[in-house]
Amino acid sequence: MFIVTYTYKVPKSKIKDYIKLQRTVKAIYVKTGCIAYEVYKKQGRENIWMEINKFKDKKHFEKIRKKVDQNPEIGKLFEKFCSIIDIKKNPVVTEKYKQRL
């Protein structure tokens, strides 16, 4: 298993827009072949969110990412995401993990 995590802040006033956006993005990823697309809110910190995307392995991740990037809708959704989180003030922290056990 290979997972990619994204952690970022979502302003309280934009959580509804964020959740609506994530439902659309999740559908694209899952339809394209992502094993799981999960979104979590940090307990005790309502503005800290994490996405966890699961893939078979790194090669599968790269294949799915390439397909997702070719989806004409994803660019507009990413622009909206950047606007929602105000990416210039709140950068996304991305990490990749490979399952060992």
Reported as a single tens digit per residue, the pLDDT across 47-77 is 999 999 999 999 999 999 999 999 999 999 9
Q: How many domains does the chain have?
A: 1
Tell me, what DSSP letter sits at residue 71?
-
Question: Residue 57 maps to which CATH number?
Answer: 3.30.70.100
User: Which residues neighbour 57 within 8 Å (Cβ) at sequence distance 6 or greater?
Assistant: 1, 2, 98
pLDDT at position 71: 95
Q: What is the mean pLDDT of the chain?
A: 96
- The b-or-e profile of 8-44 (16+ CB within 10 A means b, else e) is bbbeeeeeeebeebbeebbebbeebebbebebeeeee
Give the separation between CA 82 and CA 79, rounded to whole angstroms.
5
Reported as a single tens digit per residue, the pLDDT across 9-47 is 999 999 999 999 999 999 999 999 999 999 999 999 889
Q: Which domain holds residue 61?
A: 2-98
pLDDT at position 46: 82
Q: What is the pTM of this model?
A: 0.92
Residue 81: is its pLDDT beyond 90? yes
Pairing mode of beta strands 36-41, 48-55 = antiparallel
Give the separation between CA 7 and CA 5, rounded to whole angstroms.
7
Helix (H, G, I), strand (E, B) or coil at 52: strand
pLDDT at position 61: 98
